[in-house]
A and B are shown apart, each in its own frame.
Chain A
């Protein structure tokens, strides 16, 4: 099965924020895609080499590897509406 959305989330030591970000991404994508999405969470504290390779400049950073072109989002990633816009998925308009 092809995964249309492939994401990388670079985080540091901030478990509450990680929960919020993962929930927002899931809210933005679940039910709006015809295929599952894949998200890899990378702890920069544990694997700084990955962050260097991906040229991450801060945490949290969300790298959208696919669909291309690759995009990077930084800052508070917990806003579902903004995530929908950037991820290119349609926001829910009704109940």
Chain B
């Protein structure tokens, strides 16, 4: 059975990267360009995994995560972000609220996307793909 992955990111290149990297026989990749669209996609069918950007128009990632937690309790959310303090700072409020999430670094190449998704969904212990892409 294909697992449903919802990628919410305003960058078309990021959405396409997940769609192209993942085997269509194993994953159904659903994309959304902002938080509001992402919530609508999640309402259509609850995804197994959400990849969520932070900085987006209309509804940013922080508020999207708050609403996702209400809409789909227990859903697995990975925040897609550069690992820099200024990007992570907005998440501090969510931590204080007790919202659970994991982090995945941006950008990722195709091998890294496959590794991250497999690790997140299959719970297996994988050797991480060759790191790179961020100094």
Binding site for B on A (CB under 8 A): 12-14, 16-17, 44-45, 48-49, 51-52, 55-61, 71-79, 82-83, 86
Contact = CB atoms under 8 A, between A and B. Distances in A.
Contacts of B122: 75
A78 B135 CA distance: 29
6 contacts: A12-B102, A13-B99, A56-B105, A57-B112, A57-B129, A73-B126
Chain B interface main SS type: mixed
Contacts of B87: 48
A73 B125 contact: yes
Contact of B119 (A52, A56, A74): A74
Interface of B: 78-79, 83-85, 87-88, 91-92, 94-95, 99-105, 108, 112, 115-116, 118-120, 122-129, 131-132, 134-135
A60 B129 CA distance: 14
Contact of A58 (B88, B116, B125, B127): B116
Cβ-closest 5 pairs across A and B: A75-B119, A55-B131, A76-B123, A48-B83, A72-B128
Contacts of B103: 12, 44-45, 58-59
A52 B134 CA distance: 7
Given A56-B83, A57-B131, A79 B102 contact: no
A71 B128 CA distance: 8
